[in-house]
Structure 1
Amino acid sequence: MLVGYARVSTDDQNLNLQRDALSQAGCENIFEDQLSGAKAERPGLHQALQYARAGDTIVVWRLDRLSRSLKDLIEMVTLLEFKGIGLKSLQEAIDTSSSSGKLIFHIFGALAEFERNLIRERTQAGLQAARARGRKGGRPKALNKDKQALAVKLYDEKKHTVDQICKMMGISKPTLYKYIDAAKGSQWKNP
């Protein structure tokens, strides 16, 4: 059985083009969503997945109607494959119930993994180059060493509340406590 799924991103867009194409393709039931693909919860897609049984094929007008990204698409195809459900895209002429359709998705998956690895390698190379130039990553310290020592001193004097110290120094409570812990740790190392 062919099960159709149609989605448009906004209320202004119209589902008629997709409905007509899916009906012409022979879909008996068509499930619909009228919301952004970026939304994780798509009730129409959920209903289509619940309705479809092993041996059925979910049909979409275009692959971008089904998933927000290549990674998401590959995860969706993996889920459908696990359930024994095929996927057919009318515009891209891809059908995972055929051998050639499965091959195309495996190629897509390999390309997506290759792209993720390239991004990871570039990021690591950039971080190493920055470290070699003496740069440290992360957020800059809120206070220099002298102001950190002053904040700890104010805390130890117990003349001001934690809130008052934080307001004076322009820091949060966790930051203040981090400076206090660091100061106590250095005291234990250098008695």
Structure 2
Amino acid sequence: MKYGYIRPIVQDQQCTHQLNELFFDTLFKEAHGLAKKRTELEQLLMTVQKDDELFVQNIAVLADSLQQLLDILRLAERDQITIHFVDEQLTNQTIQKASLLQSATFFADLQSKFLSHSSTFTLQAAKQQGKSIGRPRKTDANLELAFSMYDSKTYTLYDIKEVTGISKSTLYRYLDDRSTLLSDDKE
């Protein structure tokens, strides 16, 4: 039998560009792009049998890490299943026949894709939950104190950091922002 598996990924969060030109006996579609609770993938892996074929748009759709990919490839080899990776124009058999240099290059690129996918969906989930992303801003009172200490030219950057907790690089970033604002006000 021919199976397809799709799920939201960074480049196709609505799954509208995955496996459009292919026909399947059964298509499994994951509801989210997160790494956890991939129930459709679990169901698919429990369903496939010897000589079945599985089609995915690319490796990042199927796996979230190199370890998960290796686990799935081992399972496919054990159960004699062929997995087709459409974008990469590979199957699980052709991956196994690659040279060490080809494999190392391929897996280094793949690791980068996994990290990008994971961080994108994790950030989106955090934003949807109303969580603040990134470092918190310094308080205005603390910044004003740092600015006045800096402008007085009587304190070292170390002194400013000790009093305000604002590092040299952060202080310079805020000073650059302040000078940009001041120059915009003059225009």
> Which protein, 1 or 2, shows the higher relative CO under an 8 Å CA cutoff with sep ≥ 6?
2
> Which TM-score applies when normalising by structure 2?
0.48
> So what's the TM-score if we normalise by structure 1?
0.47
